[in-house]
Structure 1
Amino acid sequence: MGPVDFDKLVLAPCVSVFGEAMQWLSSAMGAPKPITGIFDEGYKASSLDEASGLTPTYTTSADARVGIRLSDFLPDAPAQGDIFIIRNKQYRVREIQPDSHGGADILLNKADAENGALPYSAARSDSWPSPENY
């Protein structure tokens, strides 16, 4: 770290003012850990490949992410595949982008229905009675 403690002077006040409570579940830990992060689920523009001479085409999509202080996670660190519970919704970590100043931007995918039954699925559940000769 340089002569200025960026984590203490910038990141900590920002997380204190703009952050919200959430839970972090890691496969390396047994129980969820409460943390504070700055959650954003805003829209972002993305351009599609442009063909020569044609007008560029843009689309928008929701992009869930959370800004965190890496020092809040010590001695562990968030990893791809971990779960965050934010506003009673589950998100799985897609990518972690450290900022080289003690913070990171964590890109998330929604994971609420990740292990749920598929709609109109006839999949067998242990709570359903099995037919004879099954």
Structure 2
Amino acid sequence: MGVNWDLHLLAPLHGIFGDEHEYRPKDGVPFTVNGIFDRGYVQAAENLDGDSEINTTNPALGVRDADFISSGYALPVQGDRVFINTVGGVPVNQLFIVADVQPDSHGGSKLVLNLVKKR
């Protein structure tokens, strides 16, 4: 019998390190989801001209697929949005769009995010 990764690993981790965020599916009603937000890291890459560097970040949100399924919501897809309010009590207050969904095969997904620019 296999290990229930969601029950024994993901649920306890999200209970300790997760925060409540507003998930906004592109085809649906916003709802609250528990997730572990990572601001990402700065990655320097050479520009095509070879004379300058481009700095990028890769913010991500780890979510449990069970949170979506048990609440009757569709699993995350590219183009959905998520509003990150606070992380560990520290205000973030930023809206992100889901650029990529990377299932981890253990009941969770890593949502690669891009910051939505304010107009």
TM-score normalised to structure 1 length:
0.70
Q: CA separation of 1:3/1:91 partners in 2, compared to 1, >3 Å: closer, same or farther?
A: same
Give the letter aligned to residue 65 of structure 1.
A
Match of 1:40 in 2: 38
Unmatched 5+ stretches in structure 1: 50-57, 117-134
TM-superposed CA distance for 1:15, in Å, is 0.7
**Matched ranges for 1:37-76 at <5 A:** 37-45=35-43, 48=46, 60-74=55-69, 75=72, 76=74
Root mean square deviation, CA, Å: 2.1
Larger radius of gyration: 1
* Alignment partners' CA distance in 2, 1:95 and 1:10: 23
Q: Does 1:104 align with 2:109?
A: yes
Q: 1:59 to 1:28 in 2, by over 3 A?
A: closer
Structure 2's unaligned 5+ residue stretches are 48-52, 86-92
Identity %: 33
The higher relative CO (CA closer than 8 Å, separation ≥ 6) is in: 2
For the residues of structure 1 that align with 2:63 and 2:104, how far apart are their CA atoms?
A: 10
Please tell me whether the aligned partners of residues 89 and 112 of structure 1 are also in contact (alpha carbons under 8 angstroms). no
Number of residue pairs the alignment of both structures matches: 105
Instruction: Point out 4+ residue stretches in structure 1 off by more than 4 angstroms.
Output: 46-49
Alignment of 1:95 with 2:93, yes or no, is no
